[in-house]
Amino acid sequence: MKIRSRLLMASLILFLAIQALAQVSLKNKPRVVPGELVIKFKRDVVVANMLGSLGEAGVVNVSTTPQLFCVKGKVAPGRDIEQVLAQCRAQANVEYAEPNYRLYAIAAPPVFPNDADFSQLYGMHQSNDNDIDAPEAWELTTGSSNIIVGVIDTGIDYDHEDLKANIWINPGESGGGKENNNIDDDNNGYKDDYRGWNFIYKTNDPYDDNDHGTHCSGTVGGVGNNGKGVAGVNWTVKLMALKFLGSDGSGGTAEAAEAIVYATDNGAKVLSNSWGGGEASQVLRDAIQYAHDRGVLFIAASGNDSKNTDTSSNYPSNYEVPNVVSVAANDNGDNISSFSNYGRRTVDLSAPGSNIYSTRPLSRYQRLSGTSMATPHVAGAAALVMSRFPGITSSQVIVRLLGGVDRKSQFLGKMVSGGRLNVRNAMSTNPMIALTTDWSNTTNTAGPYAVSTKAVDDQSIARVRLIYQLNGATSDTLNMAAGAADTYSANIPGQALNTTINYMVLATDNAGNRTLGPTYSFKISNEPDPGDGGGCCGQAAMALEGMQGPARYAVELPLNIAFLLLPVALLRRWRKK
């Protein structure tokens, strides 16, 4: 049994590695295998009887594929392949002869922009791959001018060389002199708001007099491939300038709430919020709910106090509104930044936030650190996902962002997803799984232990199953019932004290692609909860057909090998049903 398990594990790891091999461009690649050719005989011919004639034509080292009536051979030394092919084709019993063409896995290579300082953007790309895989995502899309991101901050330098082309212009207040005619041409309650609004002074000039908002904007949507400065997560996007923080970096909740409502009413689909503080504010929560009710995402910094926001709240990132995504910061080694807040239940994912290079007013550039810098990476990723999947809901974007993270041990127990943003993974066409119930230890022996999850796909989800194991031995699977908003649920029956329950979700889409979610674990016990936050073992979500994610997943598999192998065996059973 041990040998069989090892073989299964070796096969799975090999499959993962093969699926993740770098795929290359065919340009300037060899077209044929040098000196090799393929000959097919007519079906009424005994292939073995024809080998002598092939030798006379100059074919040696022959191997056969009898099912196809084909042979592969090499050109004899000193012979010309074109002459050999011609002699083979001239034989009456030969149907065709051709070179042994070389084949390659085909995919567009990662797309790198020509921006002068792109090499300084480790969050987008670096050699150790502790990054968000932006170039890999740019194979699929570099953004869309149809997506508006509201940057609620200190304003934006709307004339910056690397931002100007991506600044949102209000179509109802621009052209024909509308920009400054002192008339509310679009009847939205704001006169001449042709490039956003200043909520402090109630003017149409949201210029950044602090640096902070401009820096965040460059990460969301610095113009890409223009030969200047940086590239944002989106090369093309519309940045709505919403200034509620003054030159000293402070502002009020009333102004913040107004900015949220303005952005929502004027077409923004993502709000980037690199700010926080104060107590829980009902008006701010109401504004965030207003945005949620209209399908707008609210991406929020988790804060820079090095604290656990599960026990010490940070606002607005702690508001329990479904569109809020709370973002921690990490450094270029994929370590949580020393200043970053964290929280197993209240912080969703991490993104690069230490020593981030981006835009600064007056067409300059600078480095800043903070969860403020991490937040626009996620806001930008949300916008990029929207450009890839037009019509996607804000809830589905969240599932893709959290389900596509690179899960690593340093993030487990510190945030809901247990990982760092990977925007390429967020665009997978395999099922995406996120927000699975993360049970803590409990003394409840009666059960049931309700588990819910969210699963989305670029087409449709066909089936979701919950796999669970008791004390590392007996196991079972449950069909998860579909509910509203891509939610699926099932109940694990009650268990005796001292039972350890491991569980994971397996989702299948209508094309038959499968994704295996992370492993979760809890115990029926009064022992303190280990607080592992989304997985006993740190397993990355894996697509079982056309694996998603890079080859590193193969070496980050859970230590609980027996449980990992369980779905492999169960898949065989399910295919028979």
- Give me the active site residues, please: 153, 212, 372
**Three-class HEC string of 69-90:** CEEEEEECCCCCHHHHHHHHHC
**Three-class HEC string of 447-462:** CCEEEEEEEECCCCEE
Return d(Cα 193, Cα 355) in angstroms, integer.
Answer: 34
**Beta strand 197-198 pairing with 236-243:** parallel
CA-based nearest residue to 552, from 128, 11, 25, 108: 128
> How crowded is residue 23: how many other Cβ atoms within 10 Å of its Cβ?
13
For Cα atoms 71, 73, 75, give the angle at the middle one, nearest 5 degrees.
145
206: its two tokens: 């949201």
Return d(Cα 158, Cα 196) in angstroms, integer.
Answer: 10
- Give me the residues paired with residue 476 across strands: 468
Return d(Cα 47, Cα 40) in angstroms, integer.
Answer: 9
Q: Please tell me whether residue 473 adopts helix, strand or coil conformation.
A: coil
Return d(Cα 87, Cα 54) in angstroms, integer.
Answer: 9
**Beta strand 197-198 pairing with 143-153:** unpaired
Place of tokens 């807040």: 341
425: its two tokens: 């993974």
Is the separation of the CB atoms in 219 and 377 below 8 Å? yes
Return d(Cα 483, Cα 192) in angstroms, integer.
Answer: 45
- End-to-end CA, the chain: 25
Return d(Cα 501, Cα 497) in angstroms, integer.
Answer: 11
Return d(Cα 513, Cα 526) in angstroms, integer.
Answer: 40
Sheet holding 487-492, edge to edge: 432-434, 449-456, 487-492, 481-482
Kindly provide the residue ranges of all beta strands, DSSP E only, lying in 132-203, ordered along the sequence.
143-153, 197-198
Question: What's CA 317's distance to the chain center, in Å?
Answer: 21
- H-run or E-run covering 522: strand 520-523
44: its two tokens: 């009424």
Q: What b/e sequence results for 401-423 when a residue is b if at least 16 CB atoms lie within 10 Å of its CB, and e otherwise?
A: bbbbbbbbebbbbbbbbbbbbbb
What's the DSSP call for residue 342? B
